[in-house]
């Protein structure tokens, strides 16, 4: 949690890398609950502030979220059939 508090303190001054760090933490569940929506939100904010180095991670998070959605949807569909 100290990492997140440190990042949040630094975010008082908008800087793309701070948002990148926060997005990465949410994508991996480091010091916070894993949350792909928040991760994408902060990767996009980092991009708006000029960080183009995050594109690989953003793509990975989006594809992971899509795969998880498919798995959950398949499980729900199989439950409805029974």
Confidence of residue 82 (pLDDT cuts 50, 70, 90): low
Q: Which residue in this structure is represented by tokens 């701070």?
A: 18
**For position 13, what pLDDT does the model report?**
63
Q: DSSP alpha helices (H): ranges in the chain?
A: 2-10, 16-28, 36-48, 55-81
Q: What is the pLDDT of residues 6-58, one digit of tens each?
A: 766 766 666 788 888 888 899 889 888 999 889 889 888 888 888 877 777 78
Measure the CA–CA gap between 52 and 3, rounded to whole angstroms: 23
What is the value of pTM for the model shown? 0.64
The tokens describing 76, both together, are: 């729900």
Burial of residue 9, with CB atoms counted within 10 A of its CB: 0-12 exposed, 13-18 middle, 19 or more buried: exposed
**For position 58, what pLDDT does the model report?**
82
């Amino acid at each position: 949690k100290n990492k997140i508090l440190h990042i949040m303190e630094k975010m008082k001054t908008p800087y793309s890398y701070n948002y990148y760090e926060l997005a990465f933490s949410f994508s991996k569940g480091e010091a916070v609950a894993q949350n792909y929506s928040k991760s994408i939100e902060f990767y996009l904010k980092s991009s708006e502030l000029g960080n183009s180095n995050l594109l690989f991670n953003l793509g990975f998070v989006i594809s992971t979220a899509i795969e998880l959605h498919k798995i959950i949807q398949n499980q729900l569909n199989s439950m409805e059939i029974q």
